[in-house]
Amino acid sequence: FVIPDFVALEAAVAGIHDTVKGIEDGKVADYIPQLGRVDPAKFGIALCTVDGQRFAVGDTDSVFCVQSICKPINYCLTLEEHGTELVHRHVGREPSGRGFNELTLNNDGLPHNPMINSGAIMCCSLIRPGWEMADRFDHVAETWRRLAGGGAVGFNNAVYLSERRTADRNFALGYFMREHKSFPAGTELTETLEFYFQCSSIEMDARSLSVVAASLANGGVNPFTGERIFSADTVRKCLSLMSSCGMYDYSGEFAFTIGLPAKSGVSGGLIIVVPGVMGICVWSPRLDALGNSVRGVAFCKELVNRFNFHVYDSF
Ligand code: GLN
């Protein structure tokens, strides 16, 4: 087993869950009513190793929307479809040092990276652009199903409708990029934005998301089905950008303190990848000022205090 003493890890994670549960700081996202109504007390941690050992504690079978956690998956899909060179003609790979939805582009007039809104909208424009919208969504949802290895993958239509209704900033980002001719020729802006909102409204529980993260930890192969969903090269690139850009404007600090590729979403979900070892999902809806789950970040700090999972731990 990749984790020889799994029982000790289970006990430690359950212990951290107990400790971190006491933290009630932060605020549930309320820019749309559907997120504002989520029970702030929810808290679940699920993990899955690359050799299929699993553990879950707390609210790990309530579903929530993936929101920004769709960004790394969509980025992988673009790499698989077009290759690195073409994808990065349309999106950069540097941290922006700015908020996730800030109206800003890099010096080439491109979104800074695929992990912020502008870059994620760009990635959506690159996923099966010639296909019908329904088929494009099916393609994304089917990819999530394969990554989750059979775990249920749903869609929250109310979230989608609300996202679309309150999307002024995302539309502004879209027009800003169109003005800079950043999109591939022939991109239909409204469809692209709607596709982005649909991807953000995919929902699943923490258990399934931990398997998605484990498929990334396992170089793109689902640990249970053995199916290869993404190439090792695609996953390496995605994890690199999750390391540098996955935690919004906290990414540098997170890389320093935690040292693991991760991606957070505004619903309070957080996936953490321990490459070659396991995938973890933490869900707790209260967010800090930068938009990351307060308990999610606190969990990560406790975890790396107890185990040498930081990529630069040397013993
Ligand atoms: N859906 C929201 C948006 O696109 C938030 C994305 C996120 O999780 N940060 O603005």
Atom of ligand 1 nearest to the CA of 196: 4
How far, in Å, is the centroid of ligand 1 from the Cα of 70?
10
Pocket of ligand 1 (CB under 6 A): 67-68, 100-101, 117, 163, 170, 200, 265-266, 291
> If DSSP codes are grouped into helix, strand and coil, which group holds residue 114?
coil
Q: Which two tokens stand for residue 81?
A: 């479809």
Ligand 1 atom closest to 100 (CA): 9
Mutational test site, ligand 1, from 38, 66, 69, 101, max ligand atoms within 8 Å of CB:
101
100 and 117 Cβ atoms separated by less than 8 Å: yes
> Which residue among 31, 34, 67 has the greatest number of ligand 1 atoms within 8 angstroms of its CB, and so is best to mutate?
67
Domains and CATH numbers, the chain: 6-306 (3.40.710.10)
Handedness of CA 224, 228, 232, 235 (dihedral sign): negative
Whether 315 has a pLDDT exceeding 90, the answer reads no
How confident is the model over 95-107, as a mean pLDDT? 94
- The residue whose C-alpha atom lies closest to atom 1 belonging to ligand 1 is 67
Contact 230, 241 (CB under 8 A): no
Query: Which atom of ligand 1 is closest in space to residue 248's alpha carbon?
Result: 9
Rounded to whole angstroms, the Cα distance separating 293 from 7 reads 27
pLDDT recorded at residue 151? 84
CA of 263 to the centre of ligand 1 (A): 12
pLDDT, one tens digit per residue, over 241-285 is 999 999 999 999 999 999 999 999 999 999 999 999 999 999 999
Residue nearest (by alpha carbon) to ligand 1 atom 4: 117
Per DSSP, the residues of 233-301 read HHHHHHHHHHHHHTTGGGHHHHHHHT-S-EEE-TTSEEEEEETTTEEEEEE--EE-TTSSBHHHHHHHH
Tens digit of each residue's pLDDT (9 = 90 or more) over 235-252:
999 999 999 999 999 999
ipTM entry: 0.94
Output the pLDDT for position 40. 98
Mean of the per-residue pLDDT values for the chain?
A: 97
CA dihedral 163, 220, 146, 287 (to 10 degrees): -30
Distance 24 CA to ligand 1 centre (A): 22
Residue 139 near residue 131 (C-beta atoms within 8 A): yes
Pairing of strands 269-274, 54-58: unpaired
